[in-house]
A and B are shown apart, each in its own frame.
Chain A
Amino acid sequence: DIQMTQSPSSLSASVGDRVTITCRASQSIGSYLNWYQQKPGKAPKLLIYAASSLKSGVPSRFFGIGSGTDFTLTISSLQPEDFATYYCQQSYSAPLTFGGGTKMEIK
């Protein structure tokens, strides 16, 4: 199975900050990488697919980049509604796997 490792596991930041989350795959997955946002008690929501494609309706402050084994999700200017947990997910090979999550908290 492909292991997905996210860092950091938690992050404290302020509104307006630029933040970056990293996701590393245990083997090359090309650009088969998706990012989801999850708020407490809610289902995950897709933000970015194919490593860098923004889902329609997602604010442009979210930016994804990467290929192979190393990927990043950047939020250019944190907004209050962005405080949530973020997960990466590979769709390169079965079984699909998720990263452990990055919980973003208000400083």
Chain B
Amino acid sequence: EVQLLESGGGLVQPGGSLRLSCAASGFTFSSFAMSWVRQAPGKGLEWVSGISGSGGSTDYADSVKGRFTISRDNSKHTLYLQMNSLRAEDTAVYFCAKKYYYGSGSQYYFDYWGQGTLVSVSS
């Protein structure tokens, strides 16, 4: 059974830092790209960052570029999101999600999601 378990959320002051983790099990972690998706209170879903299975390719939303860093440790089956220079607008539940490619390999969807971890940025 595929499981994704996020941790590391909490209350942090503006300008502070936080590192989120997502522990994966039930699948060959290194074979799948992963992403972080967030949801501000009462709002919709926003993709934050993605990383390839090997970790060699990463991408970020403009809203977090230069402040957040995605990484993974395939030996530990764990995905990370290092968040620096946090702002009030970063307050959200952060989900990790597994990407599944199909067809010719260019189409994909998120087939598994974690339960989310809440990050609150406030003084």
Residues of A participating in the B interface, judged by any CB pair closer than 8 Å:
31-32, 34, 36, 38, 42-46, 49-50, 55, 87, 89, 91, 94-101
Contact = CB atoms under 8 A, between A and B. Distances in A.
Given A87-B45, A94-B59, A100-B44, A46 B109 contact: yes
Contacts of B1: none
Given A32-B107, A91-B108, A94-B59, A43 B44 contact: no
Given A94-B59, A95-B59, A95-B61, A44 B110 contact: yes
Contacts of A46: 109-111
A34 B107 CA distance: 10
A17 to B, nearest CB: 24
A98 B113 contact: no
A50 B107 contact: yes
Contacts of A55: 111
B54 to A, nearest CB: 18
6 contacts: A32-B107, A34-B109, A38-B45, A50-B103, A89-B109, A98-B45
**Majority SS at the chain B contact face:** strand
Interface residues of B, number: 21
Contacts of A44: 45, 95, 110, 113
Contacts of A97: 47
Interface in B74-112: 95, 102-103, 107-111
Contacts of B102: 49-50
Nearest to B60: A95
Nearest to B96: A43
Interface in B26-84: 35, 44-47, 50, 59, 61-62
Given A43-B95, A43-B114, A98 B44 contact: yes
Contacts of B47: 95-98
B58 to A, nearest CB: 11
Given A36-B110, A38-B45, A46-B110, 7 more contacts: A32-B107, A44-B95, A44-B110, A91-B107, A91-B109, A97-B47, A98-B46
